Copies of this chain bind each other. A is one copy, B any other.
Amino acid sequence: MVVELISVGTEILLGNIVNTNAAYLSEKCAALGLSCYYQDVVGDNEERLAETIRLALSRADIILLSGGLGPTEDDLTKEVAARVMGRNLYLHEESKTAIQNYFEKRGLEITDNNWKQAMVPEGCIVLDNPNGTAPGIIMAENGKHVVLMPGPPGEMIPMFETSVMSYLSKLQSCVIYSKTVKVCGVGESKAETMIKDMIDEQTNPTIATYAKTGEVHLRVTARAEDEKAAKKLVKPVVKELKTRFGDSIYTTEEDITLEKAIVDLLKEYKLTASTVESCTGGMLAARLINVPGVSDVFQAGFVTYSNKSKRKTLGIKKGTLLKYGAVSEETAKAMVKGAAFLTKTDVCVATTGIAGPDGGTEKKPVGLVYIACSVCGHITVKECHFSGNRAKIRENSVSAALELMRKCILQSDAISER
């Protein structure tokens, strides 16, 4: 079945708020096996809202609307949707009581415009809203289902989870199952070339590629009668991807990030870690520390941005900085040596580079970044050339550092196993 999402609100069209409702509902609908072909955003305008609902009815089976159910004159979604569906509104006594209770419980005075929220279209299903005053509404007719939900995520999400989801899943005849294979250190176009034959052949399951900074995610999605059958379709495709991408795959779990995979590796191998950053200035530590439970393995990080702090904090020799410069293989090595010594950690990663916009020279242009990783004394250095603005260069440096870190940990393990 096909679903279409309509988010109603002038505040979205003005860019005042980010439309997180659409992302939430899309993900839930995908998991329910509904195909979403369009998301629309329209303001609190009678004519344009009616046009959008009519268009959605012409191309989808289920329309999920959020927003515009409030008590103010701006809020038109219910009135317009009822009109498009050819239904009159009537006073829903239970909703009136619920609104009364909501206000009494909070010791608030009810303003007259609140009663508007107790009006509902004839022949609809009314959905409770314990987190607000606007009830949800479902209208069904001729195989079309129109669902109205409030706009605030704190009201919409609980309503979707308690009432709408079960309504939608009952409409479905098939199940969708997907698995994401996450690859690092391989560019998007290279990744796509590596699986072009698989993409060309795809029907069910399908393979979609998503480019992230320093990563490519390959999503394999199958449609079947039940979850077991869908999983069976996905399994051989994931296996084939594993054969092709090998060690570049860091996870096949939806909720595992590259930094989480690294923290898990460190835990598995009982290694402690530290960072020492120049151009990335804390971003690398920040990404690792976003992993809950990182405290088991992460000891300390240094942001040695100035040459002075490279000398004072890490004990890097003045001669090294003078002879090779702060952005050099030698300085990157000295950084990991110094920080690993100070922190007594097994794994230490360093970044030093020119993030720009100034500071570049012909020999050392903006975008030149050295990344060093030491694992129990073995040091690997990688020279990278990034382009883009300062933020982009720094972001790419962090991804490259994480990738090198992962590679070095895996290699050290291979070495110690021999």
Known: A71-B189, A209-B72, A281-B285. A385 touches B18 (CB 8 A): no
CB of A292, distance to nearest CB on chain B (Å): 6
Q: Mark A176-189, 1 if CB is under 8 A from B, else 0.
A: 00000000000111
Q: Among the listed stretches A42-50, A137-145, A230-238, which one makes contact with chain B, having 4 or more residues with CB under 8 Å of it?
A: A42-50
| A333-371 contacts to B (CB < 8 Å) | 342-343, 356-358, 367
Is A299 on the interface with B (CB-CB < 8 A)? yes
Set B38, B39, B189, B301: member contacting A281, Cβ < 8 A: B301
**B28/A15 in contact, CB under 8 A:** yes
Q: Which residues in B have their C-beta under 8 angstroms from that of A189?
A: 70-72, 111, 113-114
A36 to B16, CA, bound (A): 13
Is A303 on the interface with B (CB-CB < 8 A)? yes
**B300/A289 in contact, CB under 8 A:** no
Q: Which residues in B have their C-beta under 8 angstroms from that of A280?
A: 286, 289
**B299/A306 in contact, CB under 8 A:** yes
**A152/B211 in contact, CB under 8 A:** yes
Is A322 on the interface with B (CB-CB < 8 A)? no
A277 to B43, CA, bound (A): 39
**A301/B303 in contact, CB under 8 A:** yes
Considering the complex, give the chain B residue whose CB is closest to the CB of A356: B292
Known: A281-B285, A286-B283, A302-B301. A14 touches B41 (CB 8 A): no
Set B27, B73, B213, B283: member contacting A192, Cβ < 8 A: B73
Is A40 on the interface with B (CB-CB < 8 A)? yes
**A113/B192 in contact, CB under 8 A:** yes
Q: Among the listed stretches A80-88, A387-395, A409-417, which one makes contact with chain B, having 4 or more residues with CB under 8 Å of it?
A: A387-395
Considering the complex, give the chain B residue whose CB is closest to the CB of A44: B208
**B306/A303 in contact, CB under 8 A:** no
**A285/B303 in contact, CB under 8 A:** yes
CB of A112, distance to nearest CB on chain B (Å): 7
| Residues of A in contact, count (CB < 8 Å) | 115
Set B40, B209, B292, B308: member contacting A38, Cβ < 8 A: B40
Q: Mark A264-280, 1 if CB is under 8 A from B, else 0.
A: 00000000000101011
**A15/B19 in contact, CB under 8 A:** no
Q: Mark A87-111, 1 if CB is under 8 A from B, else 0.
A: 0000000000000001001111101
Known: A111-B193, A193-B111, A303-B289. A388 touches B15 (CB 8 A): no
Q: Which residues in B have their C-beta under 8 angstroms from that of A16?
A: 27, 208-211, 219
Known: A72-B189, A105-B385, A282-B277. A392 touches B131 (CB 8 A): yes
Is A320 on the interface with B (CB-CB < 8 A)? no
Q: Which residues in B have their C-beta under 8 angstroms from that of A306?
A: 295, 298-300
CB of A302, distance to nearest CB on chain B (Å): 6
A42 to B55, CA, bound (A): 14
Q: Which residues in B have their C-beta under 8 angstroms from that of A74?
A: 208-209
Q: Which residues in B have their C-beta under 8 angstroms from that of A308?
A: 299
CB of A267, distance to nearest CB on chain B (Å): 14
**A302/B303 in contact, CB under 8 A:** yes
Is A123 on the interface with B (CB-CB < 8 A)? no
Considering the complex, give the chain B residue whose CB is closest to the CB of A298: B305
Set B14, B112, B187, B295: member contacting A208, Cβ < 8 A: B14
What are 13 A-B pairs with beta-carbon distances under 8 A? Answer: A15-B210, A17-B23, A37-B43, A106-B386, A111-B193, A113-B192, A131-B392, A281-B290, A299-B306, A300-B304, A303-B303, A309-B343, A313-B343
Q: A155-B388, A281-B286 are in contact. List 15 more A-B contacts (CB 8 A).
A: A10-B208, A14-B219, A15-B22, A15-B23, A15-B24, A15-B25, A74-B208, A113-B193, A114-B189, A277-B282, A281-B288, A282-B283, A300-B304, A301-B302, A303-B303
